[in-house]
Structure 1
Amino acid sequence: MKRVTLVMGTRPEAIKFAPVIRLLQQDPRFEPIVVSTGQHREMLQETLAAFGLAVDVDMAVMRERQTLSGTTARILDGLDSYVPQHRPDVMLVHGDTATTLAGALSAFHHRIPLVHVEAGLRSGTLSSPFPEEGNRRLVARVADMHLAPTWGNRDNLLREGVPAGDIVVTGNTVIDALRWGAQYAADWDRSELADLGQESRKVILASAHRRDAWPQLRDIADAWRRLADRGDVRIVVPLHRNPAVREAILPVIDGHPHITVTDPLPYLSFCKLLDRADMIISDSSGAQEEGPALGTPTLVLADVTERVETIETGAARLVGKTTEGIVDAATTLLDDSAAYSAMARAVNPYGDGLAAERTVGALAHHFKLGPAPSLFAPDSALVTTAFRDDMAQLAS
């Protein structure tokens, strides 16, 4: 039995790792150990609990107004105590957080094979998103296996010199999680949202929290307020717990009759809100994947994105972080039914619900415990000549 340590610290990591953990727990070939760094401690534990999962090791590094350097250093220090005692056969990190970077460095320092889940995303701009773009580029340099959600992500890694044999195209596990969550999302878990089922106004799910958006948070919040002033929309804002985010956004939108501010929702309730929303306006990475999967037009609060596939298919649109840009883009969708329908019908390029299965299959193949998994093939509308060539080369 191979000991698999999954290192995570934030709510998105918990969401995207949960389907993998569930399958590993059911597989007699593996012993999964869930390590929480505590970067977003409460939200992570609440999210895992929704999936019937729990943390095995809690490092509890969270500090009030923590810095990136301080957080990374504390995670590395905590893993220095954990790894020598448990000696995992492989470590998994996900995405591009401070936990991801620290976990990757720890595996490298202790000579533990490292698997990077959600590998190969690139915006092409080191400062956007910050620090995520830098983190994932650094992790790619020390990872032994790269689990890429899309073929475009695979191409990014190939251009950086990663051997093709070290990359597996899996799809994104966020789609696995969303499909599971949609089956059980029965309750809002917030009294302020209890009437959403009878809401006649258009519902906009809005959020912003990324560090590179902090200087523009008031402009973003002002855009939400101006949209709410129309009177025919209701904007729901699950507000991030970071004090810097709250101090910028709350003074602008608090008390508006058409804006509902709530604490971050439990995962199943959030799935219900995603499904109910008519539009998403967010800088969240998950929203760029979840919105298109549900056919919900998604406006991305950024000038560049690492998730280019939804922009290319038309399921999402980059609108920047200025008040005018956000208001103009949202107004078009609210007032132009053809524009709205075009985005709602666009193709979801991120998964078929089997990404976790391919992830476990890739681990088994790495340890010579099973065959190589089949690779994720996107919707036929996205199957380009380059994709077909790649498939033919892999099959030969």
Structure 2
Amino acid sequence: MSYYVRERLPPRSTGIANRDQDRGRPAMQREVHLIGGTRSEAIRLAPVTLAMREAGLLQPVMIAAGKHTGTVTRTLAAFGLEPDITVEGTGNDTVEGTRTDNGDDPLLRELDELWSVRTPAAVIVQGDTTVSLAAALAAFWRRIPVVHLEAGVRSDDLSSPSAQEPDRRLLAQVASLHLAPTPLAAMNLLDERIAHTDVLVTGTTVLDATLAVTTRRTPFQNPAVAAARTGSTNRLVLITGYGSEAGGEPRMAAAARELAERHPDVDVVLAVHSGQVDALPGDSRVIVTGPLSYPDLSRLLCEAYLVVADSDGVAEEATAFGVPTLMPRDGGEPAASLTADCARAIGADTEAIVTAASALLTSRFRRDAMAAGNTPYGDGLAARRTAQAAAALLGLAPVPDAMPVSVPVLPSGAHA
């Protein structure tokens, strides 16, 4: 075994049979295990952990699992949290868009062994990674209810080498409760004959996470960003992403420089991930940096006038603050964002990025019209709904109301 448990939590009884005995115990002693294997999962699960603690009906146990437990730990620290249990199994992974597994997942075996001696009342997984699927299967085989956060997201592309779509659909078959981020995601589940009583639209907890971090208004951790933004009155364009298209990051760098040249009242922060882009000499208004910490990213999104990103997660956060988001890609448009016209897919080449961004930078009307639509992702209360829904699943609370279909855009520094 390669997991360890922090001693600050009380020991649990063993065996599935004891779950029924737990129902007679004080609610605070009933554990719900939240499984995070990536930075994205940690961001979305952290607000749920905090909401469960606040409600006092269940004991949340945060588990960092898989190959990237260090990343999970660092991300949780932004919320004042740390993993309660770490399962450092090798697990399966996705490398450069290709699923790498042989059907024999050590992570699944280790979670099964953990839950054979410390059986939770329920398990919460998020999204569509192989860590989430392994945890869901391990819980299902031990007859532990599975709560799927951000359920119902679909691309309808079963041939993708990343295997995200098959994993999403497999998760839907073993989950007891499906918490959809948007009404569209809920409709996908209903179309797949998931019982409507097992589906709840909660919104996405990434908005809760962003609000939790930005309200602290902590100083920038990145010194280059701090130096550039301190005292600056320029409009901010944030360009970030994984450069998923071939040569994506160099093209984004070229676009950043051209935007700064065309618009003297604009600062550009270019956050790159692969190290393919060096600093751009001679232009102090283009700040090139590596991956941003979550607090820094959230604050920049809050202050941004415009965001260019190829990440759906960044689009969710940016549109929550009413910041228009341009997404350089050749496909895979975020349908939920497009329903509110707060994000727009554009070409991935430099000219397409510059043209689309300049159109919004030169016309306040166009920019504000794009930002005016309500966000389809939530209202910042998804974590509370999730905590209450998990308690309701275990008979400890009433079922929460679903997220309103139309919710207001949250205030941002861009509109100050």
If the length of structure 1 is used for normalisation, what is the TM-score? 0.84
Paired residue for 1:392? none
**Residues 297 and 340 of structure 1 are in contact (CA less than 8 Å); yes or no, is this contact kept in structure 2?**
yes
Question: Which of residues 170, 176, 190 is equivalent to 2:202?
Answer: 170
Residue 294 (structure 2) aligns with = 267
- Which amino acid in 2 is paired with 1:10? T
How many Å apart are 1:190 and its aligned residue?
Answer: 1.6
Question: Structure 1 residues 36, 380: CA separation in 2 closer, same or farther (over 3 Å shift)?
Answer: closer
Q: Which residue of 1 aligns with 2:337?
A: 310
Pick aligned residue for 2:110 from 66, 78, 101: 78
1:158 aligns with 2:184: no
1:254-293 matches, cutoff 5 A: 255=281, 257=283, 258-293=285-320
Residue number among 239, 244, 259 corresponding to 1:206 in the alignment: 239
Aligned with 1:180 (options 212, 218, 221): 212
Q: What is the match of residue 388 of structure 1?
A: none
CA deviation profile, 1:303-360 (whole Å, cap 9, x unmatched): 4447423212111101142333222211211222221121122212221221111111
User: After the TM superposition, which residues 311-390 of structure 1 pair with which residues of structure 2 at under 5 Å, given as runs?
Assistant: 311-379=338-406
Q: Secondary structure at the match of 2:215?
A: helix
SS in 2 for 1:25: helix
Q: Which has a greater percent of helix?
A: 1
Q: Tell me how far 1:40 sits from its aligned partner.
A: 3.3
Question: What are the equivalent positions in structure 2 for 1:217-256 lying under 5 Å apart?
Answer: 217-230=249-262, 232=264, 233-240=266-273, 245-246=274-275, 249-250=276-277, 255=281
Q: Distance in 1 between matches of 2:235 and 2:86?
A: 41
How far did residue 109 of structure 1 move? Answer: 3.2
Residue of structure 2 in register with 1:143 after alignment: 175
Partners of 2:149 and 2:407 lie apart in 1 by 24
Q: Which residue among 126, 130, 143 is the counterpart of 1:111? A: 143
Q: What letter is aligned with 1:103?
A: A
Residue in 2 that maps onto 1:69 = 100
Shift of 1:280: 0.9
SS of the aligned residue for 1:7 comes to strand
Partners of 2:349 and 2:143 in 1: CA distance: 45
In the alignment, structure 1 segments of 5+ residues that lack a partner are 383-396
Runs of 4+ in 1 over 6 A off after TM superposition: none
The corresponding residue for 2:47 is 19
**Which residue in 2 is equivalent to 1:101?**
133
In the aligned structure 1, how far is the partner of 2:169 from the partner of 2:247?
24
Distance 1:356 1:129, change over 3 A: farther
Structure number, greater radius of gyration = 2
Give the Cα separation in 2 of the matches to 1:66 and 1:160: 26
CA distance in 2, matches of 1:128, 1:178: 30
SS at match of 1:184: coil
Counterpart of 1:332, as a letter, is: A
Equivalent residue for 2:224, pick from 171, 175, 192: 192
Query: Taking structure 1 as reference, are residues 301 and 140 closer, same or farther at Cα in structure 2, changes over 3 Å only?
Result: farther
Rounded to whole Å, the distance in 2 between the matches of 1:351 and 1:21 is 18
> Conserved in 2, the CA contact under 8 Å of 1:79 and 1:103?
yes
SS for the counterpart of 1:5 is: strand
Q: Deviations over 1:178-224 (max 9, x none)?
A: 222221022001211123143344322122227x5456444444444
Compute the displacement of 1:92 (Å): 0.7
Identity of aligned residues (%): 36
1:389 maps to none
Most deviating of 70-79 and 293-302? 70-79
Look up the equivalent residue of 1:313 and give its one-letter code: A
**Number of aligned positions between the proteins:** 373
**2:213 & 2:323 partners in 1: Cα distance?**
17
